[in-house]
Homo-oligomer: A and B are copies of this chain.
Amino acid sequence: MKKKFQVVGIGNAMVDILSHVEDGFLAANGVEKGIMQLIDMARAVDLYGHMGPAQEISGGSAANTIAGIAALGGRTAYVGKVRDDQLGMIFAHDLRAQGATYQTPLAAKDHEHETGRCMVLVTPDGERSLNTYLGVSEFLGPDDIDPAMMAQAEWLYLEGYRFDGPDSKAAFAKAIDAARAAGGRVSLTLSDPFCVERHRDDFREMIRNHIDLLFCNEHEMAAMYPGETLDRSMRDAAAEIDIVVCTASEKGAYVLNGGGLEHAHAVPTQIVDATGAGDLFASGFLFGLVHGYDTLTCARMGNVAAAEVISHIGARPEADLMELFHEHGLV
């Protein structure tokens, strides 16, 4: 029987606040380039006060992935927490308007935290440095997980970032149990090398016991499976996981899926804003997977979707991804 959802994503719900800065701004404001830093509200206010004019676009890593699959016509749902405030309404609108189901209970108006936001500082080289105030997204807990929805998922897509929160591991466990009991499969993205450092043991336990498909980039792979070469790390990972996918920026993406190492070349593009590259890669890959494509084609779809999202500001797709798949002979 066809399940209602092809992919259900769980992650940190947030709105991105994007601004162009020079590299000197990062140094002057203590921002480490190219990674995600968690910040508290006071730091968020301070950093925002120093930033230039910005624009707001819905973000959140897994939410971007789900939006990308929805934009391709995939059947998707998303779980992540926003508050009953203006940024929360924007986040919910953008996801639903893209065609995804989004029903996570809102945090109340009087919650001490607001909807999460990520200050995305884009340097002239297109690299993005993320400064995340998690807000209420951190408080996603088991009560927010609807087992019936999880049971309707062909694939879960779990965001590693979401491990940063008091009840999140219990929420993930509940989601995984409900999905697997109904025959669903589970994918995880490691999100960020520092996220791996923070949660290595928990990630390892989850990967060994529950994960069918792992997404990561080279840095996250090296943090999770230290090895002399990427090939070595990937084989170590593949000993524990059915499908291992590692993106490598301009070198494209590598897949291990039982056979030899597969490689999909990156799609050349002008990098305007790298935000969302990994997220949209996962959109393309998962879209291919749930439609029965081989994993090399899935990786190519991922590369096309990633190339689209880095060619403009913001981490949600703007062009017609399916048309791009056609142009690249993938569908």
Residues on A facing B (Cβ under 8 Å)? 20, 48-49, 51-58, 67, 85-87, 90, 93-95, 97-98, 114-115, 314, 316, 318
A54 and B314 alpha carbons, distance in the complex (Å)? 11
A94 to B48, CA, bound (A): 10
> A86's contact among B53, B67, B87, B314, by CB below 8 Å, is which?
B87
- CB pairs A–B below 8 angstroms (18 shown): A49-B93, A52-B97, A52-B98, A53-B58, A53-B67, A53-B93, A53-B94, A53-B97, A53-B98, A54-B93, A54-B97, A55-B55, A55-B57, A55-B314, A56-B56, A56-B90, A85-B86, A86-B115
Residue of B nearest to A56 (CB): B56
User: In the bound complex, what is the Cα–Cα distance between A269 and B48 (angstroms)?
Assistant: 33
> How far, in Å, is A43 (CB) from chain B's closest CB?
15
Interface centre among A90, A95, A98 (most CB of B within 10 A): A90
Contact, CB under 8 Å: A48 / B93: yes
- CB-CB under 8 A from A94, the residues of chain B are 53-54
Q: Note all chain B residues with C-beta closer than 8 A to A318.
A: 20
User: Considering the chains assembled together, what is the distance between the CA atoms of A56 and B314 in angstroms?
Assistant: 11
**Chain B hits for A56, CB < 8 A:** 55-57, 90
Contact B86 A51 (CB under 8 A): no
Nearest-CB distance from A86 to chain B (Å)?
4
Closest to A71 in B: B53
Across the two chains, which residue of chain B brings its CB closest to A89?
A: B48
Which chain B positions have C-beta within 8 A of A87? 86
